Chain A
Amino acid sequence: MTSINTASRSLVPSDAGLLESTSRYGVGTHPNDRGLPVARWLTAVMRFPIGLAASWFVMAIVVMWALFPALFTSYSGTVGVARQQLRAPSAEHWLGTDALGRDLLARVIYGAANSLSGAFVAVGVGLVIGTTLGLLAGSARGRVDGAIMRIVDVLLSIPQLLLSLSIVILLGFGTVNAAIAVGVTSIASFARLARSEVVRVRASDYVEAAFGSGGTFVRVLLRHILPNSLTSVVALAALQFGSAILAISTLGFLGYGAPPPTPEWGLLIAEGRNYIARAWWLTTVPGVVVILVVLSANRINQSFGKDRT
């Protein structure tokens, strides 16, 4: 009998049992494992990564905020309540109110939709354009490769913020435009990664075989090279999600994102700036929310990276 069973009888897994069972078989994977479900569950709980779970929890909450904001607050995100300006956090307004009497929690909740959709657009732009460029460069090789990768070099040589500012003034201010501008700055890193992956996959035997059995260039590209190069590109997309939220909130703070009544996180901080002496919560809370979301996105991305290796 393995030690996991003794542990299960006492319902408190001893350290030695835990170590042995996890190091040899992993949790609950032992073929003769007839321990009580509760015990197995307890062992699992003790090995449970709290940080990762908290990250998923934060992301789930924020996504719910973005999809169903009205479930979480009865206040409006844009219309203030008369004579309730600049109230400190209380039972009535959990996070206080701003200078126009708008509930801060409601504004943060309604702002989630803007920030998350912005980040999705940004990552989408970078992912689609960058991967396409990298795929073309890596499969075509030769002059096409050289030309595309020089363009990527140029994109890399312009600092991200300047590049996104140039694009923002080209497209005009606004939530979607700011998101596109942020997305363009990530094209270069997607293209580089996709190209290196394609070059790796291209050298493999099954691609040679596909070409040998009469596959056309486009067909082999779409059926064999693309699906096999995508894994690490998707991991990069998860990483870019966090930094896109940061970059979009920066553009919002500078005033190039959503126009004022819109509850966008960066804009909330910018608006709270004029009241830092009287109402600390107006700037502090949205900033903490941004940090938590970005940290969670990065932590989740890290766990994906660990699974693959």
Chain B
Amino acid sequence: MSRYVIGRIGQAVIVLWAAFTASFILLQALPGDAILIKFLNPELGLGPEQIAEIRASYGADIPLWAQYLHTVSNFLSGDFGYSVQAGVPVGDLLLASLPSTLWLATLGFLLALVVAISLSVASALLPLSWLRSSIQSLPSLFVATPVFWLGILLIQIFSFQLKLVPVISPGPWEGFVLPVLTLAIPISAPLAQVLMRNIDNVMTEPFVAVARAKGASRSWVLWKHVAKNALLPTMTIGGILFGELLAGAVVTEAVFGLNGIGGLTQRSVGHQDIAVLQALVVFSAAAFVLINLVVDLLYPVFDPRLRSREGAVA
């Protein structure tokens, strides 16, 4: 067991290092240059020597491999570099924009979970077949919906038509309602699809037939026997969901003008702020790797069958 854990952690570290290196190569090969974009502005009236001096102060003139080693050691010691555009350390930018995105993502994920579970339960239990099949087709509709369009549509309906949520200076919670809803709907789609498929699969298992034969109702079987077995495989899409959450946050924050990781990403792309983007890529790759690691390690904890198999092998 412990050897398995160490091996998994080692793999995670290697993937993380490779993601760092890949993004470093990708971003350093850029034709554009944040320093030039900011300081080559004719209004500033800087001469070529002065610009060269500024480049030296940012460390942009030393050879690439030296920059690479430098950046690696800086990242390891928690120093993510300096944002050229904002003029502050990248670490500060990340810390400042993290709480808002964390709230948005957590609430959005919880709502998505509620939506997905209610959809899949409804699709298993509702009496009318046309109702069931229309609920089963909802996730594919959610998948096909552009997130940014959904946000705009919600603003249109709830703010302008129904005037339920004020557009200008909403309260801290009111301002969160529509973004959370916008984020939750596309994320609920893959969750609901996996849940529905799992429920269908488990429903064909012999123990379900036995329980039904003993006279259990469909809903009793669903809650007592199927739910736990169907929820477990859903954990495996954690990585995909994280990517969706992040992409959703970028778009949602752009639509609602929120200041978070998503807004930061959009601004740093617009200004070609390499240091910020590099930190964001490494940050999200780390989160992805961590989530998958935790899911893998938690599996035997939640599923006793896997635990005994691990024990038998060791």
Residue of A nearest to B249 (CB): A161
Is A159 in contact with B288, judged by CB distance below 8 angstroms?
Answer: yes
What total count of A-B pairs have CB within 8 Å?
A: 134
| Docked CA distance A160–B272 (Å) | 18
**Which size bracket describes the interface of A in this complex?**
35 or more
How distant is B85 from chain A, measured CB to nearest CB, in Å?
13
Whether the pair A283, B156 counts as a contact (CB closer than 8 A) is yes
Complex partner residue of A159 from B26, B143, B247, CB under 8 angstroms: B247
Q: Are B26 and A167 in contact, with the CB atoms below 8 A?
A: yes
Identify the closest chain A residue to B266 (Cβ). Answer: A254
CA distance A170 to B272 in the complex (A): 9
Q: Cβ of A286: which chain B residues have Cβ within 8 Å of it?
A: 149
Would B148 and A253 count as touching, CB distance under 8 A?
Answer: yes
A255 to B267, CA, bound (A): 11
List of A residues within 8 angstroms of B251 by Cβ: 161, 250, 253-254
User: Considering only CB atoms, which chain B residue lies closest to A154 in the complex?
Assistant: B18
CB atoms of B15 and A154 under 8 A apart: yes
Nearest chain B residue, comparing its CB with the CB of A277: B160
Confirm or deny: B68 has a beta carbon within 8 angstroms of a beta carbon on chain A.
Answer: no
Given contacts A269-B146, A277-B160, contact A283 B153 (CB under 8 A): yes
Pick from A169, A246, A249, A276: contact of B152, CB under 8 Å: A276
Chain A window 133-175, contacts with chain B (Cβ cutoff 8 Å), 1 for yes, 0 for no:
0000000000000000011011011111111011111101000
- CB proximity of A287 to chain B, nearest CB, Å: 4
Instruction: Identify which of B56-64, B105-113, B173-181, B276-284 touches chain A.
Output: B276-284
Within 8 Å CB of A272, what residues of B? Answer: 152
Q: Which residues of chain B are within 8 angstroms of A249 by Cβ–Cβ distance?
A: 146
Q: Establish whether residues B152 and A269, one from each chain, have CB atoms under 8 Å apart when the complex forms.
A: yes
Rounded to whole angstroms, the CA-CA distance of A277 and B167 in the bound complex is: 11
| Interface stretch of the complex, out of B27-35, B72-80, B297-305 | B27-35
Contact B243 A298 (CB under 8 A): no
Q: Which single residue of chain B is at the shortest CB-CB distance from A155?
A: B22
Find residues 154-204 in chain A having any chain B CB closer than 8 Å to their own CB. Answer: 154, 156-163, 165-170, 172
Give Cα distance in the complex from A280 to B152, angstroms. Answer: 10
The residues of B that contact A298 with a CB separation of less than 8 Å are 140, 143-144
Question: B146 touching A157 by the CB < 8 A rule?
Answer: no
Shortest Cβ distance from B274 into A: residue? A169
Known: A254-B254, A287-B146. A166 touches B26 (CB 8 A): yes
A40 to B94, CA, bound (A): 67
- Cβ of A110 within 8 Å of any chain B Cβ, yes or no, is no
Task: Say how far A192's CB is from chain B's closest CB, in angstroms.
Answer: 13
Contacts of B156 in A (CB 8 A): 276, 280, 283-284
- Give the Cβ gap from B281 to chain A, nearest Cβ, in Å: 6
**B285 at the A/B interface (Cβ < 8 Å)?**
yes
Q: Judge whether B269 is part of the interface by a CB distance below 8 angstroms.
A: yes
Q: Interface size on B (CB < 8 Å)?
A: 49
Give the residues in chain B near A254, CB-CB below 8 Å. Answer: 148, 250-251, 254, 266, 269
Asked if A291 lies at the interface with its beta carbon under 8 angstroms from chain B, I say yes
Name the B residues within 8 Å of A161 (CB-CB): 243, 246-247, 250-251
For A270, list chain B residues within 8 Å (CB): 148
Q: Mark A233-270, 1 if CB is under 8 A from B, else 0.
A: 00000000010001001100111100000000010011
B19 within 8 A of A: yes
Within the complex, the shortest CB–CB distance from A302 to chain B, in Å, comes to 9
Q: Which of B256-300 contact A (CB under 8 A)?
A: 265-266, 269-270, 272, 277, 280-281, 284-285, 288-289
In Å, the complex CA distance between A161 and B27 comes to 15
**List of A residues within 8 angstroms of B289 by Cβ:** 157
Instruction: Report how far A177 CA is from B162 CA in the complex, Å.
Output: 40
Residue A273 interfacial (CB < 8 Å): yes
| Distance of B167 from chain A, by nearest CB (Å) | 8
Known pairs A269-B149, A290-B149; A166 contacts B281 (CB<8 A): yes
B242 at the interface (CB under 8 A from A): yes
Interface bits A85-100 vs B (CB < 8 Å: 1, else 0) = 0000000000000000
Please tell me if the beta carbons of A165 and B143 are within 8 angstroms of each other in the complex: no
Chain B 141-161 per-residue mask, 1 if CB under 8 angstroms from chain A, else 0: 101111111101101100010
Structural contact, A157 and B265, CB atoms closer than 8 A: no
Smallest CB gap from B282: residue in A: A158
Q: Is A295 an interface residue (CB 8 A)?
A: yes
Residue of B nearest to A270 (CB): B148
With A157-B285, A159-B288, A276-B160 already in contact, the answer to whether A266 and B30 are too (CB < 8 A) is no
The listed residue (B140, B149, B243) touching A287 by CB distance below 8 A is B149
Closest residue on chain A to residue B27 by CB atoms? A166
Judge if B100 is at the interface, Cβ distance under 8 Å.
no
**B31: chain A residues within 8 A (beta carbon):** 170, 172
In the bound complex, residues from chain A placing their C-beta under 8 Å from that of B16 are 157
* CB of B23 closer than 8 Å to a CB of A: yes
Instruction: Provide 22 A-B residue pairs closer than 8 Å at the C-beta atoms, listed in order of the A residue.
Output: A150-B14, A154-B15, A154-B285, A158-B22, A158-B23, A158-B288, A159-B284, A162-B265, A162-B281, A170-B30, A242-B144, A246-B146, A250-B148, A250-B251, A253-B254, A266-B148, A270-B148, A272-B152, A276-B155, A276-B156, A283-B152, A287-B152
Given contacts A154-B15, A250-B146, A287-B152, 6 further A-B contacts (CB under 8 A): A158-B288, A161-B247, A170-B27, A254-B148, A254-B251, A298-B144
Q: Which residues of A contact B (CB under 8 A)?
A: 150-151, 153-154, 156-163, 165-170, 172, 242, 246, 249-250, 253-256, 266, 269-270, 272-273, 276-277, 280, 283-284, 286-287, 290-291, 294-295, 298-299
